[in-house]
Structure 1
Amino acid sequence: MSRPDHMDVAAYALGVLDEQDTERFEEHLATCWACAAELETMVPVVGLLSGIDGETMTALEQTATDPGLLDRTLVAVRADRRRTRFRQLLAAAAAVVVLGGLTGIGFSNVISDAGPTDVVAEPTRDAPIDQPPTGAPTAPATGPGVGGNEEEGDQFDATDPTTGVQTTMFLATKDFGTKVNFSLRKLPGPRICRLVVVRKNATTEVISTWSVPDEGYGTNARSQGLELSASTSARLADIKQFQVESVDANGVASPLVTVKLT
């Protein structure tokens, strides 16, 4: 094949060869690797040229004799394509607005595709808002069970005039005997204490022991009182008194506060 035959690659790629020249070039292409490689590189260029209209091609032909005209032509073509793309974007946006007005979705659907949005919960009509509490105020509890349910049983309060220790006891009759819930205040430390049941028949029983730290309970150093629970097999009717005692290192006990039942 002659040198002009090799020059037919571009013409073949653009589809401007007649039927006879096309068949002749395809026969040559089957045996010429150079033309085949060149044709492969021209495929993207052909795709770009397919978007150029006849008027643009005519203008490009005229630039062969005027390099300055080539630059101006390329600038004009790029500007025209940018304007065309901008007009297409405006038309698409207008279509979305119209569609949104007709269907009730509009740009909200477009925005929702960009990511999750914050959901603000509205208050229900049934829930009262900022309503003052009803009912008469109750006096603050000072004994065991503060912050919980009311203690069961009979309440007994006592303050020792010598030591100043205060106690509140709730005594409830149970099948096993007597349940005791009690609190202590103005109890200094450090010391070891115990709760003793004194029956009417003069017998005694230690039903609880505990230690008091340096700051004590219900004192200036620690305002919170001590709350404890205990139980005894003695029936409430058989009990004369409960006595809180302090026990020294030698085991000698001294009374701190006494709750008398009879």
Structure 2
Amino acid sequence: MRSLERHRDVGAYALGVLDEAEAFRFEDHLMECPSCAVQVTEFGPATRQLMLYRSATPRTVHPAAQPSPRMLDRLLTQVSARRRVGRRRMLLALAASVVLAVSAPAVTVMAGGDDGPRPLTVEATDERSGVWAQVRIEDRDWGSSVELRVKDAAGPRDCVLVGIGRDGSENVMTNWAVPRHDARPNTVPGGSAMRSDDIERYEVRSTEGETLVVLRPE
């Protein structure tokens, strides 16, 4: 396949919709194309929103359900407040993910009321791995929203934040990629269908299954 056609596969690759053979060929292209590597990173927020939708939306919600214009406008306003104007492509990707995937019950992943209990914050450092993490969790009507701050200088590697329920159940709350040899704090948004009272602990893990740090609320 020509290089130009490979450029066009960047969105499909980032959202995980390429088949195995196409994804393998695109990864070869990605190693030689800095422009596509940047665009894959910019699709990260859209990918996380789709994962949150999948975990927070009841199966009874029709997959073609549409958000109201007011909901879409509020989401775009919140995103634009966090990003620079120059990141317009990322905003368009987020808007597209909402139109395709977000229904009324799930759109509250990005919208929280001012009333209710105060957010819970817990942090920990693992002496073995050297990873430090802080989780800020706030209960919502649909479950809980999460803001994770993490320092990990042992990259590159892909990681996930997992909430472990008191009943032993596990729920992936967010995921991210750790840059190579970068110990600066990385802030990642996330969410879960579980509420804070239902969660016994939080674990930062590599996607290969290694537990990097455990956070236990007091």
* Fold-level similarity (TM above 0.5): no
Greater RCO (CA < 8 Å, at least 6 residues apart): 2
- Pick the structure with greater CA Rg: 1
Q: What TM-score, normalized by structure 1, do the two folds share?
A: 0.37
Q: What TM-score, normalized by structure 2, do the two folds share?
A: 0.44
